[in-house]
Structure 1
């Protein structure tokens, strides 16, 4: 007889695109030329904002990255990148609909609720400053920039399990980036690509989570 699936005890959430709306355009629109903002926010951004930000998420400091931005993009674009990082709170306009309610429901029913995010150690504090309810609801959060680890690499998932005393097959992880779901699955966590609070509830129910 096949083993029964492990009972889910804990749910882990990415931040930007899952718990929090991340909108670079909201930070830059009206302050810089529309065509430049559109290029920066495009999937194939020629100015590399998200590549530089990804380096910050992996643990590098802004001050060590900025000279590369100046050299590779020029002073004008580099100054916009500096503005973006210095006004990062403006790129976090709201929590995503239904997500604080989902976290509260999970907590009320006895599930562990955790965060796992690729985020710079220099700007992560803004998440909890803007949205203190998230800090109240989450039992703990692993931040890539603080650990100098980075999704989708296995080490950051394993660290999360070890730090919080979690068992992979008893955990669900929601992320809006497919490769991060693959990374979670590879270490035995139930990774689910996030597409909204209602779909997340349906996915949890299919795994036996009752809210």
Structure 2
């Protein structure tokens, strides 16, 4: 670590540390054609839009009436089921990522979490995958802070809370706009693809594992 300008690595959760799969939660419980519509890229039933509101700090109870009025009672009940069974949407950790966190820790790097996630469901991540809680030195959750990537305030909060120097941090996220947000506050943002790519990207920045 002494030879690396990087001292800390920050990770998004869903799509980086955890496999997030709405379809896995709903399949077998609702008709296949309904699940396919819900999970379509254009989000016709708004599941991901409503979830974004929860990630920004709104409570499920305040959002649910909008789901009923905009989507109808049947779809709203499926959304309620999804939130109530959120652990089923997190089938596994992303391959190789627990090992990467462990290697970083062993070599003296700080490892941190920064996620857009509801304060009501975030506990599921650590309940289901306690090794992540053991390895991460701390995590900032958007729904708790009522801040949201890619806005600068949540990155700055992370840096200040954990006493991090932006230029010495790397941030991995699977969403391009969140990488732009990190870069704008001086963090080395890298679009995540897989654990091997993450290791290669870290190596290019002088991180030695």
Question: When the two structures are superposed, what TM-score results if normalisation uses the length of structure 2?
Answer: 0.98
1:37-48 paired onto structure 2 within 5 Å? 37-48=35-46
**1:42 deviation in Å?**
1.1
The structure 1 residue matched to 2:22, chosen from 16, 21, 24, is 24
1:1-211 paired onto structure 2 within 5 Å? 7-211=5-209
Q: CA RMSD in A?
A: 1.0
Structure 1 stretch displaced more, 6-15 or 85-94: 6-15
Residue 59 of structure 1 aligns to a residue whose secondary structure is coil
- Gaps spanning 5+ residues in structure 2: where? none
Residue 179 of structure 2 aligns to a residue whose secondary structure is helix
Question: When the two structures are superposed, what TM-score results if normalisation uses the length of structure 1?
Answer: 0.97
Residue 11 of structure 1 aligns to a residue whose secondary structure is strand
The size of the alignment, in residue pairs, is 207
**1:168 deviation in Å?**
0.4
**1:90 deviation in Å?**
0.3
Residue 113 of structure 1 aligns to a residue whose secondary structure is strand
Matched with 1:3 is: none
| Separation (CA, whole Å) in 1 of partners of 2:132 and 2:204 | 25
User: Structure 1 stretches (4+) deviating beyond 4 angstroms?
Assistant: none
**1:177 deviation in Å?**
0.3
Q: Deviations over 1:17-58 (max 9, x none)?
A: 000000000000011111110111111021000000000000
- Gaps spanning 5+ residues in structure 1: where? 1-5
Q: Deviations over 1:5-26 (max 9, x none)?
A: x810000000000000000000
| Separation (CA, whole Å) in 1 of partners of 2:193 and 2:93 | 14
**1:159 deviation in Å?**
0.0
